[in-house]
Structure 1
């Protein structure tokens, strides 16, 4: 099992969880500092799980070894689709969900979230899950292997809220790529909500407020 940072929001035993995957080159503690800005409700009590991606050589960065959920060979969408790496990370995310279930948290009370590469893994895994989850949060990202989504998605999360957020000036994952992926999710039948911001490949305070509001809404529905 990959190493994780865990934080508890609220009091008592957690009944809900968020599994939040960082982006390429970042670390498990990347999103821990944003927690106070989300203004999460005090009820329910939430366990936030921040997993660490393994170190791997990234082709587009000259083979430099860094934390990554999968390899990226270039800027084209096909060069961003490393099936062995994404499949490995899919299994990691599925195992983290199973771990939370084993700790007593129903899958319907778990949000899977990710930024950039982490968001791609959340998208990819979310539509292939055997468990229903509370929500899918996809930040500044895209849907890998969209051409296979229709045949491979399980349909178990077709009623699960999906929030996709993107920067209009994103030069890492272009806005058009993010929007096309969101449109593909909608075409598959997922209830996706799209929000964009005047930002680059990042997260901004205004967005954090919106993320917190969405999480509170999702968990209020999943009680």
Structure 2
């Protein structure tokens, strides 16, 4: 695969042999550097051999921000995130993330040792990629996010484990919207492990600790 066709990304290599990959997607207006410190904060055992890929979303005008050009996985037109979702933008981003995963598979990493992760908009794309590119993924981490296209969410072809978390004080992606996404995923047969934290639209130390434990369990499995 021609690397020039891939999303640019921060790549954090493991200390030893590469045995697994986490593809982590940032939120609106950020970039791949936003979660760069997380690789160390998760305190994963070195023996897991985890490479972190933190891609940068394309720059595009974002309607809710007066058309300002910024990094975004898709356009947003209203604070009501369920209103007029940007289907073409979401589909293009999930395909771009799938190409990154395909590059990891070409490097010898099986899909069951690839975890898709994302915060807010990035979580939307992680879930969409998992649902519409039905590899036997190692798991999905979906933080402070929602199901943007509930009408096209397919039934789970297999029980991919999902770590889904939300802040109870979130006013950007309301807690109720995240909880509705969880309920829909479960109704469609996805295996969701649900976590809540008393925080706004952000991450907290307790959440990072729980993600680290979850990832270590997932990637330690034979």
Number of the residue aligned with 1:7? 12
CA deviation string 1:17-66 (max 9, x = no partner): 00000000001111011222211012220111000000000000100110
Equivalent residues in 2 for 1:27-176, closer than 5 Å: 27-79=31-83, 81-149=85-153, 152-153=154-155, 155-156=156-157, 158-176=158-176
Number of the residue aligned with 1:208? 208
What is the TM-score with the length of structure 1 in the denominator? Answer: 0.94
Q: Would you say the 8 A contact 1:71–1:80 is kept in 2?
A: no
CA distance in 1, matches of 2:12, 2:152: 35
CA deviation string 1:86-114 (max 9, x = no partner): 01101111101101001111111000000
Secondary structure of the residue aligned to 2:53 is strand
Q: Which runs of 5+ in 2 are unaligned?
A: 1-5
What is the TM-score with the length of structure 2 in the denominator? Answer: 0.94
Deviation at 1:79, TM superposition (A): 2.8
Deviation at 1:80, TM superposition (A): 6.0
Q: Which runs of 5+ in 1 are unaligned?
A: none
CA deviation string 1:60-79 (max 9, x = no partner): 01001100000000012333
Query: RMSD of the TM alignment (CA)?
Result: 1.1
2:194 is the counterpart of 1:194? yes
Q: Would you say the 8 A contact 1:10–1:44 is kept in 2?
A: no
Secondary structure of the residue aligned to 2:132 is coil
CA deviation string 1:119-154 (max 9, x = no partner): 0001111111131110010000001111221xx35x
CA distance in 2, matches of 1:174, 1:86: 20
